[in-house]
Structure 1
Amino acid sequence: MCPKSRMLCSLVTPTQTSLDSTVLKMEAFLARTTKRYFHLLTLLQTVESSGPGIWAFMAISPSGTMPWEARSVPTMYVIGGQAAWFVQDHVLNATENSPQTLDIPPSEFVVDIFIGTNDVGVNNFITDGQAFNVSLKSLATCQLQSIRNLHALGARNFILNSLIPLQLTELYSNSSAPNIYWPALHNGTNWHKRAFNFANSLNELLKDGVSNLATEWESEPETSVEFFDTYAFFEEMYNHPAMFFNGSIPANVTGHCHQCPDPDNFLDCGIGDCTLAQRDSYMWWDELHPSEQTGRNLAAEIWRKIQGVSKF
Structure 2
Amino acid sequence: MPFVHSPDKMVLSPALDVVFAPVLCQAQICPATGVSPWALKRFRRLITFGDSYTDESRLQYMIDHNGTAPLLGTVLPESTLLRNWARHVATDTGLDLRNYAVSGAVCSNYITPRAFPSIHGDFPSVLEHEVPTYVVERDGRHHETGESIYEPPFDSASSVFSLMVGTNDLGNSAFLTDSQIAGKVLRHYTQCLYDVLDRLYASGARHFLLFNTMPLHLAPQYANDTLDGQQATRYWPDKPSDRNRVAIKMLQQTTSVNEILRYQMPYELLVAKRFPGAHIAMFDLWELISDIYADPAEYLDHSRSTKASDYEHHCDSAGGHCAYEYDHKYPDSFMWWDELHPSGRVHRVIAQEVIRALEGRSRYASYWSDEQ
- Per the normalisation by structure 2, the TM-score is 0.61
Task: Call closer, same or farther: CA 1:220–1:234 in 2, change over 3 Å.
Answer: same
Q: State how far apart, in whole Å, the 2-side matches of 1:167 and 1:71 are.
A: 23
Task: Call closer, same or farther: CA 1:78–1:203 in 2, change over 3 Å.
Answer: farther
Q: State how far apart, in whole Å, the 2-side matches of 1:251 and 1:303 are.
A: 27
Q: State how far apart, in whole Å, the 2-side matches of 1:157 and 1:191 are.
A: 36
Report the CA distance between 1:212 and its aligned residue: 2.5
Report the CA distance between 1:82 and its aligned residue: 2.9
Report the CA distance between 1:213 and its aligned residue: 3.4
Q: Structure 1 counterpart of 2:261, which letter? A: L
Report the CA distance between 1:128 and its aligned residue: 1.3
Q: State how far apart, in whole Å, the 2-side matches of 1:167 and 1:207 are.
A: 20
1:240 is aligned to 2:295: yes
Q: Structure 1 counterpart of 2:90, which letter? A: S
Q: State how far apart, in whole Å, the 2-side matches of 1:267 and 1:300 are.
A: 34
Task: Call closer, same or farther: CA 1:154–1:65 in 2, change over 3 Å.
Answer: closer
Task: Call closer, same or farther: CA 1:208–1:250 in 2, change over 3 Å.
Answer: same
Report the CA distance between 1:98 and its aligned residue: 5.9
Counterpart of 1:165 in structure 2 is: 215
Task: Call closer, same or farther: CA 1:197–1:86 in 2, change over 3 Å.
Answer: same
1:192 is aligned to 2:241: no
CA RMSD of aligned residues (A): 3.5
Higher share of residues assigned helix: 1
Counterpart of 1:179 in structure 2 is: 233
| CA distances 1:228-276 after superposition (whole Å, capped 9, x unpaired) | 110011111111212211162135311100011x32x31212x243433
Counterpart of 2:321 in structure 1 is: 268
Q: State how far apart, in whole Å, the 1-side matches of 2:164 and 2:126 are.
A: 9
Counterpart of 1:63 in structure 2 is: 92
| CA distances 1:31-78 after superposition (whole Å, capped 9, x unpaired) | xxxxxxx9xx79x99xxxxx7799989342373899786887975234
User: What SS is found at the alignment partner of 1:132?
Assistant: coil
Contact 2:335–2:342 (CA under 8 A) maintained in structure 1:
yes
Q: Find the partner of 1:115 among 150, 153, 165.
A: 165
Q: State how far apart, in whole Å, the 2-side matches of 1:279 and 1:65 are.
A: 25
Structure 1: gaps (5+ residues): 1-37, 46-50
**Number of positions where the alignment pairs a residue of Structure 1 with one of Structure 2:** 262
Structure having the higher Rg: 1
Counterpart of 2:188 in structure 1 is: 138
Q: Structure 1 counterpart of 2:320, which letter? A: L
Q: Structure 2 counterpart of 1:294, which letter? A: V
Contact 2:336–2:343 (CA under 8 A) maintained in structure 1:
yes
Higher share of residues assigned strand: 2
Q: Structure 2 counterpart of 1:151, which letter? A: Y
Q: State how far apart, in whole Å, the 1-side matches of 2:217 and 2:309 are.
A: 11
Q: Find the partner of 1:106 among 146, 153, 156.
A: 156
Q: Structure 1 counterpart of 2:244, which letter? A: T
Task: Call closer, same or farther: CA 1:147–1:126 in 2, change over 3 Å.
Answer: same
Q: State how far apart, in whole Å, the 1-side matches of 2:276 and 2:137 are.
A: 26
Q: 5 Å matches for 1:1-312? A: 58-59=86-87, 60-61=89-90, 63=92, 75-90=123-138, 92-93=139-140, 99=148, 101=150, 103=152, 104-175=154-225, 177-184=231-238, 185-215=240-270, 216-217=272-273, 220-221=276-277, 223-246=278-301, 248-260=303-315, 262-263=316-317, 265-269=318-322, 271-312=323-364
Q: State how far apart, in whole Å, the 2-side matches of 1:180 and 1:130 are.
A: 21
Counterpart of 1:48 in structure 2 is: none
Q: Structure 2 counterpart of 1:201, which letter? A: S
Q: State how far apart, in whole Å, the 2-side matches of 1:70 and 1:224 are.
A: 21
Task: Call closer, same or farther: CA 1:300–1:71 in 2, change over 3 Å.
Answer: closer
| CA distances 1:172-196 after superposition (whole Å, capped 9, x unpaired) | 1114722222223432111100110
Report the CA distance between 1:146 and its aligned residue: 0.7
Report the CA distance between 1:107 and its aligned residue: 2.1
Q: Kindly indicate whether structure 1 or structure 2 has the higher relative contact order, using CA contacts under 8 Å at least 6 residues apart.
A: 2
Contact 2:221–2:231 (CA under 8 A) maintained in structure 1:
no
Counterpart of 2:32 in structure 1 is: none
